[in-house]
Amino acid sequence: MSQMRDAGLLARDAEGLFWMARYLERVENLARLIDVTQSFESPGFETEAWWGLIKINADETNFVERGFSADATHIKRFYLLDKGNSTSIPASVEGARTNARTLRPLMSTEMWRQINMFQRFVSAISPADLEGDALSRLCTRIKEGVQAHTGITMGTLYRDQGWYFYELGRYLERADQTTRMLDIKYTALLPKGAEEARVAELTQWNAVLRAGAGYHAFKRQARAEFSAEDVVQFMLRDPSSARSVLLCVRRVEAHLDDLRRLYGLNQAGEAIEEAEFVRALLTEKPLGHILATGLHEYLDIVQIHLQQIAAAIGRAFFRDWRPAREPGAMAAESAA
């Protein structure tokens, strides 16, 4: 691959920054999903609520192969305690730290210290932390741990090519996880009575907004009697919402364009085209049509194309890229 200009960023460092950001963004969003799943529990139907989390992460096979049974307790342990589960919070934090270790020369002392402290905290999570109100407190601490990392990174990471790859990973993961946040609403059970179902649905949408850190921003502009379409519009298409899929995809486009324009990385062309396609996919159809024909199916399509953006970035800049693989730190020595 052609040498990056300026600081001569290695392919392995670009990939390490990309995946460190993805892993940590995934940790925060999984904590948000766990918290909202707990709020969707109904007496006697706890397992159904938690199984929705397995479904939206496509973890059915992995869950069974890891030897767990389909109940709420085991699903919580699968995501919060099982270090051998590659989609768990402990595994994702360890993946971020593994990448951070190889990036030590590019990181501030504060970044390195915080990620080590966070990894030790997550490793010490116990079964007692998953019960009742303790689980919500645990999710808050996990979210705050990632937010501390993000704040330190914003304040200390040098704004060279590596910064752009870090941001690409963060925004791609956030876009993907926002689609899953929306999708989990459609795995939640509603009461059978019309009025009870209406109240429960509004409560669930409020929970999704809170989980996506968008409740107060949404309330500033939403109608008093908001609808499902209003929430989906806000989380998918609002250009000013920090976690909306559209904002994230626009940031990915902008960062890829900067890499091409400022650093001469013309390999970004394919990924830019993929991002432009996703942007059109997000805006071309009326939301009423999408809701009527199937939001779940639509979100699946968006997720597939977000993965294709990541694959295009990998093919262009990362050595030995495999789309189905989530690499740790790469051993490659050649420059991107």
Question: What pLDDT, on the 0 to 100 scale, is given for residue 188?
Answer: 66
Lowest average pLDDT, out of 3-7, 214-218, 242-246, goes to: 3-7
Does a structural domain hold residue 326?
Answer: no
How far is 79 from 82, CA to CA, in rounded Å?
A: 6
The amino acid present at 117, given as its one-letter code, is M
Question: What pLDDT, on the 0 to 100 scale, is given for residue 334?
Answer: 32
How far is 156 from 217, CA to CA, in rounded Å?
A: 28
Q: What percentage of the chain exceeds 90 in pLDDT?
A: 67
Q: For the chain, what is the domain count?
A: 1
Does a structural domain hold residue 328?
Answer: no
Question: What pLDDT, on the 0 to 100 scale, is given for residue 320?
Answer: 57
How far is 145 from 55, CA to CA, in rounded Å?
A: 26
Does a structural domain hold residue 162?
Answer: yes
What's the domain range around 238? 11-317
Lowest average pLDDT, out of 248-262, 267-281, 315-329, goes to: 315-329
Question: What pLDDT, on the 0 to 100 scale, is given for residue 193?
Answer: 66
Does a structural domain hold residue 83?
Answer: yes
- The total of other beta-carbon atoms located within 10 Å of residue 74's CB is 17
Lowest average pLDDT, out of 60-69, 201-210, 229-238, goes to: 201-210
Q: How many CA atoms lie within 13 A of 307 on its CB side?
A: 12
Q: What is the CA radius of gyration of the chain?
A: 20
Q: Is 187 helix (H, G, I), strand (E, B) or coil?
A: coil
How far is 228 from 205, CA to CA, in rounded Å?
A: 7
What is the pTM for the complete model shown?
0.89
Task: For residue range 143-195, list pLDDT tens digits in order.
Answer: 999 999 999 999 999 999 999 999 999 999 999 999 998 888 776 655 666 66
Does a structural domain hold residue 6?
Answer: no
335: phi then psi, degrees, rounded to nearest 5:
-80, 155
